[in-house]
Chains A and B, each alone.
Chain A
Amino acid sequence: MTKIVNTPLTDDAINDLCAGDRVLLNGIIYTGRDAAHKRLVGMIQNGQELPMDIKGQIIYYVGPCPAKPGQVIGSAGPTTSGRMDAYADILMDSGLKGMIGKGLRSKKVVDSIIKNNGVYFAAIGGAGALLAEAIREAEVIAFHDLGPEAIYRLRVENFPVTVVIDNKGNDLYKIGREKYRIG
C-alpha cells in the first residue's frame, strides 16, 4: 500500500513505516552525496554549525543534471548509497532521520537506523526524469563549488520512494530476495 508522509519526519511517522511500503514524500528534503557528506561530517567533528538544521530531516543521495531554462531541476534519480555508509551514522547521531538512495547499506548503518529510529528509503535508480517531476523547488544552499555534488534544498510533492530498511532493521533487499530466490 502507498502511504503519504510529510517532512520533517516525526517518530510517529517512522513507527508506521515498514520495509516494502511504497511512500509518497511531501515537504523539504536535502541532497548530498560523497563530497558533501565528507564536508558535513568534517564540520560535525570540528564542532562547526551545519549549513542546514538536519533534525528530523531526510538527505537524498543525488547529483542532479543541470536544469534546462524553465525547469526546476534536471533528471534527479538516486546514486548508490553504500558510498555514504562511512558518514551516515554520524549524521543520524546528529539528528538526521531519513536517507533516500539505492542499494545495500552496511551493518553499521542498519544499527544506526535502529538506534536513532530512522528509515532508509530507495527511489528508483535510473528513473531520473520521473523523479524530477515530483521536485517543485530546488535551491543550492551550500558547497556551490561542488557542482552536481552541492547541497540542494528541494521541495517535493508526492515524491515516490519505497521503504527498504525500517526502524526495526527489516531489510527489503533481504526479505524480497529470500521470497523469490529459487534453489
Chain B
Amino acid sequence: MREIDVGIITKEIERLCIEANYYLPQDVKKALEDAVEKEESPLGKEIIIDILSNEEIARKKLMPICQDTGLAVVFLELGQDVRVVGGDLYEAINEGVRRGYINGYLRKSCVDDPFMERKNTGDNTPAIIHTTIVKGDKIKITLAPKGGGSENMSALAMLKPSDGVEGIKKFVLETVDKAGSNPCPPIIVGIGIGGTIEMTTLIAKKALLRTIGEYNPNPVVAKFEKELLKEINKLGIGPQGFGGRITALAVHIETFPAHIASMPVAINIQCHAARHKETII
C-alpha cells in the first residue's frame, strides 16, 4: 500500500487551478490556428486571431485566459493500492482550490446556495469532485475549470430508442443552434449517449477532456462525430456568433450501455477556452 499525504494533493490542486486558467492546452491552440485558415468570414478570421492573441497575453503575463475562471471540476482517479494519509481527501482538494483561486488571482464564481441568497463563498469552493477507483498505486488528478456561459447552454434529453441516430442529430443541432453566440463559439461539443440520467451527463463532460483530433475508438461513433461536426458548421453561427464556418472545433461522443427502454443524450457545451490540466502523483 503506497501512502500519499493529503498535503501533496492540496499543493498539486493549487498549481493545477492556476496553470489550467493561465495556459490554454496545445491541442486547443492548434485547433484555433487551423480555424483561422478554414474560416471564410473575414470578421470571423479576425476574431479567431484575437482569441489567439489573448492566449499569448495570458501565457506571457501569467493571467487568466478568461475572467470566468469557472467552478473547479476535479476528476480524481484513485489507485486502489493508494492509502491517503494526513487528513480528509476532499477537504484537501477544496483547500487546494481555495489556495489556487486566491493566490492565482482567479475570480471566485461560486455562490453558496443556488436560489435563495446566492452569496459568494469567497474562495470558489466547493469543488465539483468526480472520483473513480482504478488499478495501481497512483492518483491522477484532472482539473477542468468550467465557465457558466457555455455550461448554461448545455442540455439533456431522454430520447426514445426509436428516435435513433436522426433523433440524436436533431437534438444536437437544435441545441447548438439555440445556443448561438451565447457559449462563446467556436465551441467544443461533448456528447454523452446512454447510461442513466447522471451517467450520460458525466460522460458528456468527460468527453470534453479528450484531445482535439482524437476520435472515439469505435469507428461508427467516430464517423458520427465527424458528421455532426460538419452539420454544426453548416449552421453559420461562426466565431462569436458573428457568422462564419467555424462554429465548433470538435465534437466528442462518449457512450455507455443503456436501459432497454432508454436513450438518454446529454450535450455539454464548452467554450473555446477549453481549459484542463492533469497530473499524476
Q: Is the CB of B181 within 8 A of A103?
A: yes
Q: In the assembled complex, which residues on chain A have CB atoms less than 8 Å from the CB atom of B105? A: 65-68, 74
Q: In the assembled complex, which residues on chain A have CB atoms less than 8 Å from the CB atom of B255? A: none
Stretch at the interface among B43-51, B86-94, B135-143, B158-166: B43-51
Number of interface residues of B (CB under 8 A): 49
Asked, given contacts A104-B180, A133-B57, A160-B50, whether A176 binds B67 with beta carbons under 8 Å apart, the answer is no
User: How many Å lie between the Cα of A175 and that of B241 in the bound state?
Assistant: 10
Q: Is the CB of A125 within 8 A of B271?
A: yes
- Among B64, B68, B272: residue with most chain A CB under 10 A: B68
Q: In the assembled complex, which residues on chain A have CB atoms less than 8 Å from the CB atom of B109? A: 63, 148
Stretch at the interface among A8-16, A46-54, A76-84: A76-84
Asked if B189 is at the interface of the complex by the 8 Å CB criterion, the answer is no
User: How many Å lie between the Cα of A76 and that of B68 in the bound state?
Assistant: 9
The secondary-structure label for the interface of chain B is: loop
Number of interface residues of A (CB under 8 A): 48
Instruction: Indicate which residue in B41, B65, B118, B235 contacts A128 across the interface (CB closer than 8 Å).
Output: B65
- Chain B positions near chain A (C-beta within 8 angstroms): 40-41, 43, 46-47, 50-51, 53-54, 57-58, 61-69, 105-109, 118, 120, 122, 148-149, 152, 180-182, 184, 234-238, 240-245, 271-273
- Chain A positions near chain B (C-beta within 8 angstroms): 20, 22, 35, 62-68, 71, 74-77, 79-80, 82, 102-104, 122, 124-133, 147-148, 160, 162, 164, 172-173, 175-183
